[in-house]
A and B are shown apart, each in its own frame.
Chain A
Amino acid sequence: MKRFLHHLTSRRVAVILILIMALVLGLASLVPQVDLADTARIAELKQKRPLMAFLVLHLRPEGIARSPFFLVLPGLVFFSTAYSIFLRSRTELRRRRQKKPLGLQRFKVERSLELSCSPEQALEATHAVLKKGRFKLAVTSEHTSTEPLVAFRGDLGLTGSLMFHVGLLVLLFGLPISAVYRASGEVMVAEGFPSTLSERNIVQASNKAAMSPLHGVTVSVRDFSAEFSRGYAPVDYAMVFGVLRPGEPSSSQVVRVNQPVEVEGFLFTLHRYGFAPELEVKDATGKVLTAGTAILRVMPPGTEDLLTLQGGDTLKLALYPDHALRHGRSVSRSLSPVSPVLKITHLRGGKALAQGRVSRGEVSAIGGLRIRFSSLGYWAHFLVTRDPGLWFFTLASALITLGLAIRFLLDPQVAQIQLVEAPGGVHLNLVLSARYFPALMEERAKRLGDDIVTLVNKEKTRTT
């Protein structure tokens, strides 16, 4: 059992697991993310990519992703990482408790120098060069010239590695929390029409019960502003988002793309917007068939939407925010509502009876109907989400990036320098060691030696 556990938590197994995870994720990304209840999407997929449709319908990749067989992979990585952290922390803590400096590491490089100066001058130059190379002396006060001088750098490097792996654990811990406790839904609010949130108007809710803190809260939008560059290219959308909780004064704040608002711990993210023309439709006798705001899909301009009238007739509406006629056809020069025009088709039983256009602020007679297009507002579509896993992800990201930076910027290195008096000067023996990168260390040892010689020579020139 102990042997099995040892094997399971070995670094070799951890690397293999990581590679399996990468392979599975890579293959999974090729499968389209389709809701099996979405028949239209499935039909489209069957027509365009029959092989993918077959895979989605028969292999059910969503089910595989949630299966215990698949979840065991990150679980094993978690276990293996945790065990590795435990072992390394124990060793590191022991070393620190014993106040031991880092010993010579896996790879060693040796360099010998003959310096024509006194031992004191050589020691001084060595100190200066080590300091410049960001080495810390392990022993300073009791040091004698017969003992080797020990210096080290990058002592925190191992801490960086630990931080990184702890970050990985936090991340792996946060992922199931996100998967289980994440709640999301969608809310649509038209300008001038506050909406009291309930189970009915929070649509596409992933977990209806989890959205209950929002029930009873009234949200509204007003003062929508869309900014366009050169008249056509959108650069910003913003609006004032109002919140009214029962028994509390209302509050409002600006919401825009990339700037969500938080209500009762839920994030309201502006996801889509569209135009909401205010219409009044009367029949030939003057009877009002509909009056109010119509929420229209408008992307791209000319997209048609249906509005049902009293009595069963329908109007097919298409909005052109910046209307122009090109070869007798309605087009929109931009999305900016400079001169909005509604193209309206009156339908009865699916058959077109009449067609016409009406501009903002005007009344038009289309067939037997009188249609007033009094003003143009906006609607906003919000994604509503709450994800407790976010805090784990944030903490993990910070630990991972910081840990990596410390680990790779502070590569642990140990220098051991022995100065021995020799005829005509001092014999200096430099041993530089590190866990990794022996060739780079050789370069560094050469540089350190050269710097010591240069400094000694410079000092000699200065004194003579």
Chain B
Amino acid sequence: MTTLEAILLWGAILAYVLAFVALSASPFFKAPWLPRAGLMLTFAAVVAHGGAILTRWIGTGHAPVMGSYENSLTGAFFLPLIWGVMAWRYPITRRAAFLVIAATLLILGNGVMAPVSLAPLEPPYRSNWLVVHVVFAWFAFGSYLVASVLALRYLWVTRKNAPTPEPDRRPLLDELTFKLIAFGFISDSIMIASGAIWARGLWGRYWAWDPIETWSLVSWLIYGANLHFRFTLGWKGRRAAWLAAISVIAIIITFFGIGVISDVHTQLL
């Protein structure tokens, strides 16, 4: 890790922590500047985070998608990015920011504990499909995770005895959750397809039922079922939000759990 990368990364982590504190404390204090400061700190953190990714990219000479540290660094960036787009277009989602930041910090924390030395791209990763596969993997992960955060927010604002706002825009939160799941599902499909094409060139087969492949399929099936529950069986509101919030476990196992409990993709050469 270069000095500049370390400064940017730790600067981003500090800004995320401060933003998290400001945003999670804001409901308890009547200080209108607190959520505003939280959002501004989040923005600063995202800029620094993006800078750290760019510095890493320049330092290694390849997109930072190799190994646990680089994957966490890049993957964590997609959470505030996807949430930011939603928050910019639909202000109702802004109140879920502290949960998104908490998830971002957890992923970054997982990354900084891994080896961070600069290394060139290994031969198996030298494929044009790498970027497609990894970028869409993180889009899927980010979309599903932000969707579950919005679902949790929806469950909170529709809890028993929760005040009914005027106008009641809570159903929008519910629908945005499913828009994000739909987007995540498309990204997930592209991720699986591009991974299979890459595997065909690398290992001579497009599918081998290794634990990561299997769990990608499991997540895909679970989110496919999610969409079916919503679109064809008409689930909505709290029931659908619970489903969206719980489904995220599958994608967390796929991205972070498999390495702990089983073998991952076989490495070549």
Contact = CB atoms under 8 A, between A and B. Distances in A.
Interface in A287-335: none
15 contacts: A11-B233, A18-B228, A25-B217, A26-B215, A26-B218, A26-B250, A33-B210, A234-B122, A269-B201, A387-B205, A397-B196, A397-B197, A400-B193, A408-B182, A443-B172
The size bracket of the interface on A is: 35 or more
Interface string A350-393: 00000000000000000000000000000000011101001001
Interface string B228-257: 111111000000000000000010010000
Nearest to A15: B228
Contacts, number: 152
B94 to A, nearest CB: 16
Contact of A404 (B186, B218, B253): B186
Interface of A: 11-12, 14-15, 18-19, 21-22, 25-26, 28-30, 32-33, 178, 182, 184, 229-230, 233-237, 256-260, 267-273, 383-385, 387, 390, 393-394, 397-398, 400-401, 404-405, 408, 436-440, 443
Given A25-B217, A440-B172, A258 B123 contact: yes
A18 B231 contact: no
Nearest to B127: A258
The size bracket of the interface on B is: 35 or more
Main SS of chain B's interface residues?
Answer: helix
B204 A229 contact: no
Nearest to A436: B231
A385 B204 contact: yes
A44 to B, nearest CB: 13
B183 interface: yes
Nearest to B168: A439
A258 B186 contact: no
A234 B207 contact: no
B2 interface: no
A211 to B, nearest CB: 13
B58 interface: no
B262 A235 contact: no
Contact of A18 (B192, B221, B250, B253): B221
Nearest to A26: B218
Contacts of A229: 120
Most chain B beta-carbon contacts within 10 A, residue among A26, A384, A394: A26
B51 interface: no
